[in-house]
Copies of this chain bind each other. A is one copy, B any other.
Amino acid sequence: MSSPIRVTVWNEFIHERQNKVVQAIYPEGIHATIAKALSAAGDVLVRTATQDQPEHGLTDEVLEQTDVLIWWGHKGHEGVEDAVVEKVHRKVLAGMGLIALHSAHFSKIFRRLMGTNCSLKWRVADEKERLWNLEPSHPIAAGIGDYFELPHEEMYGERFDIPTPETLVFMGWFEGGEVFRSGCCWHRGHGRIFYFQPGHESYPTYHDANVQRIILNAVRWAVPRVNIPFACPQAKPLELIKK
């Protein structure tokens, strides 16, 4: 039997402490809900980390023991220390998986990996989203039907300022009239990155079975295949160079 996938679910954990609506939905925090869902899978070993912890809970030791990092942030983006972002960035390029959720589109780590603004249109209006499954053969879409619906989600609309996704797995249709590239895959360095749009804090999105299944699928997809640190070596010639 193969060893379990070691996942760290990172959450800024701010809204849940300040806002009663959010607290009612996620009494122990968004990270706890996601962690619980992943733990039930059997092949995932989950820990959590939050922004208020020393080094935001992402010490060298924790990162060394992390195969896939899940990131939820919103209000606290600017407060995330550059040194921690730098370490996470290096780790992704070496092979660690990263799953950026919802408002993490504006997190320092996601923007650094993308190299773009990662801006978008937005609106909180209790509207319906329908997510279309464009790639049923992709591992992240395993078990997901032709589409699924979220009765209420924050609208995120195009143009989403990202590098063209290598794979566009899900596309969102919004009741208010917009569309969005809601599930996107990239490789950066030796690491795999998945961005997944649903998850506004005031809606019970992370309790949704399809959303939980997709995050679990993404964890399995993003598991590191290698761990290759940075190097830029001078190389001896392999063939004779004529003088």
Taking CB atoms and an 8 Å cut-off, the chain A residues in 169-184 that contact chain B are 171-179
- Asked if A52 is at the interface (CB within 8 A of a chain B CB), the reply is no
- Hey, which chain B residues are within 8 Å of A186, CB to CB? 163
What is the size, in residues, of chain A's interface with B at 8 Å between Cβ atoms? 72
- Asked if A132 is at the interface (CB within 8 A of a chain B CB), the reply is yes
Contact in complex: B171, A179 (CB < 8 Å): yes
> What's the nearest-Cβ distance from chain B to residue A110, in Å?
9
- Hey, which chain B residues are within 8 Å of A204, CB to CB? none
Bound-complex Cα distance A87 to B87 (A): 24
Q: Helix, strand, loop or mixed for chain A's interface? A: loop
Contact in complex: A237, B173 (CB < 8 Å): no
Taking CB atoms and an 8 Å cut-off, the chain A residues in 125-140 that contact chain B are 125-128, 130, 132-139
* Copies assembled: 4
- Asked if A161 is at the interface (CB within 8 A of a chain B CB), the reply is yes
Find A126's partner among B113, B239, B241 (CB 8 Å cutoff): B241
Instruction: State whether A125 and B163 are in contact (beta carbons under 8 Å apart), knowing that A117-B93, A173-B178, A188-B115 are contacts in the complex.
Output: no
> What's the nearest-Cβ distance from chain B to residue A231, in Å?
6
- Hey, which chain B residues are within 8 Å of A161, CB to CB? 93, 189
Contact in complex: B235, A116 (CB < 8 Å): no
- Asked if A53 is at the interface (CB within 8 A of a chain B CB), the reply is no
Which 7 A-B residue pairs are closest in the complex by CB-CB distance? A177-B238, A176-B237, A137-B190, A119-B232, A177-B239, A115-B115, A121-B235
